[in-house]
Structure 1
Amino acid sequence: PPGLGNWDNSCYQNCIIQGLASLHSLKDFLSAPSMNFHRLEENSTIHSLQETLLKLTDPANGGRQLWLPGKLKSMSSWQQQDAQEYFSKIMEQMDQEARKATTINSLLLGLKDIPDSNETLPDAETASHLQSLRLHNPLEGMLAQRVGCINCGYSEGLSLIPFNCLTVALGRSHLYDIRDCLDEYTKLEPIEGVQCAKCSVQHHLEGCMRMATEKKDGSSLDTFHQAVQTRVNTLRAALNDEDFSDDTLTKKCKIPKRQWVSSTKTRQAVIARPPQCLAFHVNRSVFDEMTGTQWKNYAAVQFPLFLDLDEWGLGSKVVSKPMQEPPSETPNIIPGEEAWIMNPNVTMLPNGGDQSSSEPHWRYRLRAVITHYGRHENGHYICFRKHSGGLGSDSDGDTPTQENAEASKDSWWQLSDEDVVEVSEDNVLSQGGVFMLFYEQVPVDGISVSPDQQQDHSTAEDVHITPPLTEAD
């Protein structure tokens, strides 16, 4: 594969572009005619990225040195040359331009009064479907987040959060597995001292109920009981309707925020919709509270060639209920209806008891690895990526056959700017100083994975990991 020239310390940009070049789905997304990206300006990020990725995967450019176009080169930060930050800027620009392309297409599809004998405009439903496809960046997935109170059990439901990269953190250990990092990322996390609206309503309702039972003397007894009963009815209505908005509590229920009850809640975020291309960022920045400075975590991180994401996906339980009430002798049952686990004390992951893993199975194959050598404030990025080495010899996106599996064997390359060297698969998997990982989804049916490729959570004694270079090195 061609290398990229280092233009003004651009290794952090070069490695991201090389990593993106390894993703078949991204190239298809940028090149699909239905996207109508050709209506954008020629100097747009999408056009610049599309042309660059085509050049980096064109066998005719093998062994050459290429340069990033000005559009991609100018997307930098004067504060810090960070590869993940650069990746985020590219994704942000792509999303903005994709929305712009969709707006243009919507305007064009709206010109239904203009007759055209050679072209049939799609109906509104088809046009809406096409627009939704245009906006689906293959790197974009969806997280499902649930926050609930462990005291009253109330949860507002699942919040869907889009993502194009999962940032995982490291602790104090010297060796990690990316799957252990995913366990930490998706675990059920307690949060103490958080105000709970339902607990606040219940607390004030109990207080009003006690006041209603108290005996008072004087002519204002009836007036007092009427006021208390009105307050009780309002609080009960909020509980029955599960209406815990700020306006309801402060205006209707007359509960000022300073009187809201604090509780312990749990938070959990899991994969709701997996992306076609899965990007990981290993956060190696550590902030020193004593000195106010940042330093790099040099812990080694191991990662598998194949990754099954089901373990961290949104689990569900299947429930059956009658379609009518009251049921007949042989009630009609709705089969296979899913109910997400909303109990704040129970994990949403598929291994959490009465749940089953999401379908279809989410299997990914490693496509690129980005490592960082040096200290936090300076260093060098290197990319390891899959490259076909010729037309049709890499079938990672399709069901492999024996012939093309042999053709794509050992087609891993180390790219340090313009310096390109072929490396073995074992060499890639032994890189401990990983900074970013790029995976791509592959079909589950028809794929054959050998036992030695199915790595499980191994210990340091089981897998040899090349540790990242330290400051002394």
Structure 2
Amino acid sequence: MSWAPVSTWSRRTPLAACCSAPELPPAGAWKACAAGSLRIGPQGRCKMMKNWGMIGGIAAALAAGIYVLWGPISDRKKYRKGLVPGLLNLGNTCFMNSLLQGLASCPSFIRWLADFTSKYRQENNTTEHQHLSVTLLHLLKALCNQEGTEDEVLDASPLLEVLRAHRWQISSFEEQDAHELFHVLTSSLEDERDRRPHVTHLFDLDSLEFPLEPQRQIHCRTQVPIYPIPSQWKSQHPFHGRLTSNMVCKHCQHQSPMRYDTFDSLSLSIPVATWGHPITLDQCLQHFISTESVKDVVCENCTKIHAAQIPNSQSVENRKTTFVKQLKLGKLPQCLCIHLQRLSWSNQGSPLKRNEHVQFSEFLAMDRFKYRISGCSTSKQPANHLSAAEQETTDGKEGGAQNPTMPFLNGACSTSYISPPFTSPLPTNPEWTSSSYLFRLMAVVVHHGDMHSGHFVTYRRSPAAKNQKLTSQQWLWISDDTVRRTNFQEVLSSSAYLLFYERIQSNLHHPEDQRAAEK
């Protein structure tokens, strides 16, 4: 044969040349080559066939590699349009992945985190990556395609490392609860918000002699008191709300002072289903605020009335009566997290999971569950109006607790976080169109399995396109690193464990903005 063997050619030729055909002999040499091949014998022909098979195999492997690495990019981008990145399961971290996808579906929470973390950027803090708010913000923005990354699967292990730095012992190999992790995140954010500047102890001689940040410590000692005045950035997170507790004596109708308690999520028990009637989210909310009787409560008013009826020489015992207690929502948050309690206990004391389907809707009107002062005008207030009590709340104070007669209007720490008038298909329910406290469904977290093991998945809205204020109507089903499109009927038929709603401004309050948005 007139050319080098395949083995010698393959060693001397660059790798890129493997994609092209080998140099062919002159046309006149074909006959001699054919005659020579006949004289080679069976073993030689077998060897030549193996050499040509090797060339074909190398070419096919390179072609497949090029297709995988630089294949139909346009088709893949077209398929990924409207989807979001998934999250890598680090062992048993589906509880964390599902919660992060749910939080990423709340734009007002991401905007609040951006304002919250701006404090560290202003200070040029070199350790800002150690802060939970910064790590959480970057992760949530990446899950909304706002970080410019093209990765289809993200790793959330930095969040676990930051939580461990906050002394939370969270293992990635043990099954955890998504609702418990939600409270871990909110409480850690509150701790980060309330963190005081570092003040050196008088007995810490090493720090006094060799300060790590002398100028910053001097600034804290000379210009800022030990307990600084709350600054503008120190605001409540969008999931922060308040409950009112009202108790009335059944005997004398005396009302005890109003109590206010904070909440990050509403944990609703599921009432017993009536045969033939489905369980709805409204029934769970109504059951949450229903009245209950509390026995053997000392009533100061009944004691005074009884004391006025007996001589002064006799001692008066405290009168115990039965009170009626009722919970209401004193301040509704911007982002409402509803937890449906699916844990129950059998008569033998073993835990059971309730798998009943609770019907919920895309829009949720909370007016019926809002606390209102008796005799107070029920005229609708704009969603961007803040009462004096809630303005004090933005400074970290318990506004309104000292003056129970002041109407406790709904609102948030900043009106910039409230979503604009909804431009998605308008609700037809009259209760929704006339609601002052209207919320829109953003995500649903579902648990599959029993009380001992299972898996968390998330239904969430696809993020809106850039430079668009429209809320996306495309829903996604996400299980760790698997993301697919789904329809809203599948979302409504799911057995919800966590519901994420976001407050929106009713078009009844802002008709001009609504008409402009529709144009």
TM-score using structure 2 length? 0.59
What's the counterpart of residue 302 of structure 2?
Answer: 199
The alignment status of 1:71 with 2:159, answered yes or no, reads yes
Distance in 2 (CA, whole Å) between partners of 1:266 and 1:362 is 27
Change (3 A) 1:426 1:103: farther
Secondary structure of 1:438 counterpart: strand
> Among 410, 413, 429, which residue is 2:476 paired with?
413
The within-5 A match list for 1:200-279 is 200-206=303-309, 209=310, 212=311, 228=313, 259-279=317-337
Cα distance, 1:203 vs structure 2? 3.4
> Among 87, 92, 112, which residue is 2:187 paired with?
92
Matched residue count: 343
Cα distance, 1:51 vs structure 2? 1.3
Secondary structure of 1:291 counterpart: coil
What's the counterpart of residue 446 of structure 2?
Answer: 371
What's the counterpart of residue 361 of structure 2?
Answer: 304
The one-letter code of the counterpart of 2:186 is M
Change (3 A) 1:88 1:129: closer
What's the counterpart of residue 388 of structure 1?
Answer: 463
The one-letter code of the counterpart of 1:381 is F
Change (3 A) 1:143 1:67: same
More displaced stretch, 440-449 vs 381-390: 440-449
Question: C-alpha deviations, 1:432-465, integer Å up to 9, x for none?
Answer: x10000011111125899xxxxxxxxxxxxxxxx
Question: C-alpha deviations, 1:347-402, integer Å up to 9, x for none?
Answer: xxxxxxxxxxxx98111111110011111111111111112264234633xxxxxx
What's the counterpart of residue 426 of structure 1?
Answer: 489
What's the counterpart of residue 88 of structure 2?
Answer: 5
The alignment status of 1:31 with 2:114, answered yes or no, reads yes
RMSD: 3.5
More displaced stretch, 439-448 vs 172-181: 439-448
What's the counterpart of residue 282 of structure 1?
Answer: 340
What's the counterpart of residue 452 of structure 1?
Answer: none
Distance in 1 (CA, whole Å) between partners of 2:186 and 2:341 is 18
Q: Any unmatched runs of 5+ in structure 1?
A: 115-120, 122-126, 213-226, 232-253, 321-337, 342-358, 397-407, 450-473
The alignment status of 1:48 with 2:135, answered yes or no, reads yes
**8 A Cα contact 1:362 1:441, kept in partner:** yes
Change (3 A) 1:80 1:65: closer
Structure number with greater Rg is 2
Cα distance, 1:262 vs structure 2? 2.7
The within-5 A match list for 1:100-119 is 100=195
Question: C-alpha deviations, 1:138-190, integer Å up to 9, x for none?
Answer: 11011111122111222222111111100000122173211111111112222
> Among 130, 139, 145, which residue is 2:239 paired with?
139
Distance in 2 (CA, whole Å) between partners of 1:111 and 1:35 is 20
What's the counterpart of residue 505 of structure 2?
Answer: 443
Question: C-alpha deviations, 1:59-93, integer Å up to 9, x for none?
Answer: 54466111113333655657861111111111110
Q: Which has the higher contact order (CA 8 A, sep 6+)?
A: 1
Distance in 2 (CA, whole Å) between partners of 1:319 and 1:200 is 30
TM-score using structure 1 length? 0.65
Distance in 2 (CA, whole Å) between partners of 1:101 and 1:363 is 37
Q: Any unmatched runs of 5+ in structure 2?
A: 1-83, 200-215, 378-403, 408-433, 515-519
What's the counterpart of residue 190 of structure 1?
Answer: 293
**8 A Cα contact 2:446 2:496, kept in partner:** yes
The one-letter code of the counterpart of 2:246 is R
Cα distance, 1:42 vs structure 2? 2.2
The alignment status of 1:169 with 2:301, answered yes or no, reads no
The alignment status of 1:153 with 2:253, answered yes or no, reads yes
Question: Which consecutive aligned stretches of 4+ in structure 1 deviate over 6 angstroms post-superposition?
Answer: 101-104, 110-114
Structure richer in strand, relative to its length: 1
Secondary structure of 2:256 counterpart: strand
Secondary structure of 1:267 counterpart: strand
**8 A Cα contact 2:88 2:153, kept in partner:** yes
Question: C-alpha deviations, 1:216-261, integer Å up to 9, x for none?
Answer: xxxxxxxxxxx62xx6xxxxxxxxxxxxxxxxxxxxxx66xxx543
